[in-house]
Amino acid sequence: MTFLKDITWTEIFIFAHTCAALGCVLRVLYKQKNIGSTFAWLIILFLFPVFGTIAYLLIGEPRLGTARAKRTDEMNRFYQGFVETYLSNLYLDIGDKVKSRYHGISKVAASGTGLGATRNNAMTLLSTTDEIIDTILADIRAARHSCMLAFYIIEPEGRIEELLNELLAAADRGLDCAILADAVGSSRFFDSGWVETLREAGIEVHASLPVGVWRTFFTRTDLRNHRKILVIDSKIGYTGSFNLVDPRFFKKDSGVGEWVDVMMRCTGPLVLELSAVFFADLAVETDENLESVQQYLTQAQERIPEILPEKMQQGDIVAQVIPSAPEQGSHVIYETIISAIYAATKQITITTPYFVPDEPLLMALTIAAKRGVKVTLILPAKVDSFMVRYASRAYYPMLLDAGVKIAMFEGGLLHAKTMTIDEDYALFGTVNMDMRSFFLNLEISLAIYDRDITKQICNLQRDYLKNSSYITVKAWQQRSKFRGLIENTVRLVSPLL
């Protein structure tokens, strides 16, 4: 054993690190289901072994913590009973309202959530910041029972302070008010004096997916709650791309211009589904939340037969709430998007701020264009992420060669996340066209099976095109070869962005 005396600490470190790196490589090969992600992690581990090992241990797998997982399992069991009671009191036959080619897509969307398409909804598309905030303020002022908000980003400045003050007034009137904000996205909100002010007024304020040095070892801190939900009196619901930020102030020094967002105001059975998603998110944060939410949903479940379907009938729109999260067994929104693209026969138009597709999505879009479908991507000319900007551009040649039109929006950072198919089906919500939204973040979308509201979204997309310029194959081929090298290099790790 005398040879052990000759071993230096450096050699011990190298040996330990080699074992750790090899262990990570084996775990990547075993755990990662996506080929692109597997390849990207292997590149990082081989090129940057120290950094790669640490990075994989911290963010390589979607870990949300054991305690949260237990609460999620318990909430899911309870939630299933709520959904079954809810669905048993709805008229769910959409055969006469929805084209047959969309029936299968609806089943895909319901496969991971249990939430099918519902009839008798009404929707209002809100496409400017002032229109969004003014409408929300009016609904809060008219509220009689409750205001529930869940947002990725809350920045208390500009008109958002006006909205928070209206919440204080609602609490003063005796309404139940609660805010669930992502701990990272809304870090400035939690560091402000607003949280204490709101809590002193009786408003519950909760951090979704809290972070910290100690938590880093047990949870993956880059998994975020990206949902945007507002529910008022359990009768009015909102979702879309809009965070609680005033674009005149938000990231005004980032050089990308004001953020351009959209929201959908909903009434009808959809609102109960949005409420269920909100309370499920709230419940899994703490044991206390879980108990109180279960009590609330028990009371709500008892009232469902009384209010459905007659009192919830607000219109004739068929739509579906599609929540997704890394805890789900399937990637329901991703699968819905792919299914919808393959169902298109005439037109596909997509707006997204971040476009980093994987191979199946890229293939679906290029094949659609080759089939003769008019495929248009509307992307912001400037984005607030260096990596996403270059990774996204690496896919342009393949898309352009297939006949996909790429329009660069020049009126700010186009943050709207919409997809329209043949002007009679739309996906609308919080989901970006990237791997983070598909597989990692908590997201929410609306599937809309209605020609009129889809045409409104199509008209909005056309308005975006009026402020956009198209990329041509010739112009793209003339760009710097060095820039192309950077783009293709960044593309290697794009599955991790």
Which pLDDT tens digit goes with each residue over 129-147? 999 999 999 999 999 999 9
SS3 content of the chain, % helix, strand, coil (to 5): 50, 20, 30
Alpha-carbon span 183 to 150, nearest angstrom: 11
* Residue-level pLDDT at 462: 98
Can you give the pTM of this predicted structure? 0.86
> Is there a contact between 66 and 218 (Cβ–Cβ < 8 Å)?
yes
Alpha-carbon span 208 to 214, nearest angstrom: 17
* Residue-level pLDDT at 114: 72
The DSSP call for residue 147 is E
Alpha-carbon span 412 to 12, nearest angstrom: 53
Segment 256-300, tens digit of pLDDT: 899 999 999 999 988 988 988 898 888 877 667 677 766 666 666
Residues 199-205: what's their mean pLDDT?
A: 97
Better-scored residue on pLDDT, 364 or 253: 364
Q: Give me the phi and psi of 18, to 5 degrees please.
A: -60, -40
> Is there a contact between 309 and 104 (Cβ–Cβ < 8 Å)?
no
Active site residue 233: yes
Better-scored residue on pLDDT, 44 or 370: 370
Instruction: Give me the residue label for tokens 């020609």.
Output: 451
Catalytic residue among 139, 182, 226, 450: 226
Catalytic residue among 261, 281, 358, 417: 417
Percent of the chain at pLDDT > 90 equals 52
Alpha-carbon span 262 to 457, nearest angstrom: 10
- In this predicted structure, the answer to whether residue 202 has a pLDDT above a threshold of 80 is yes
CB atoms within 10 A of CB 485: 10
Q: Please return the burial class of 283, using the count of CB atoms within 10 Å of its CB with bins 0-12, 13-18 and 19+.
A: buried
Q: Give me the phi and psi of 469, to 5 degrees please.
A: -125, 140
Segment 2-20, tens digit of pLDDT: 545 566 666 666 666 566 6
- In this predicted structure, the answer to whether residue 98 has a pLDDT above a threshold of 90 is no
pLDDT band at residue 33, thresholds of 50, 70 and 90?
Answer: low
* Residue-level pLDDT at 112: 74
Catalytic residue among 246, 281, 358, 415: 415
Instruction: Give me the residue label for tokens 């419940």.
Output: 283
* Residue-level pLDDT at 407: 98
Alpha-carbon span 314 to 159, nearest angstrom: 30
Catalytic residue among 176, 222, 233, 384: 233
CB atoms within 10 A of CB 133: 21
* Residue-level pLDDT at 183: 95
* Residue-level pLDDT at 370: 98
Active site residue 417: yes
Round the average pLDDT of the chain to a whole number and report it: 84
* Residue-level pLDDT at 384: 84
Catalytic residue among 139, 422, 434, 450: 422
Which residue segments constitute the domains of the chain, with CATH numbers given?
A: 12-59 (no CATH), 66-103+116-321 (3.30.870.10), 332-496 (3.30.870.10)
- In this predicted structure, the answer to whether residue 492 has a pLDDT above a threshold of 70 is no
172-187 b/e (C-beta count within 10 Å ≥ 16 → b): eeebbbbbbbbbbbbe
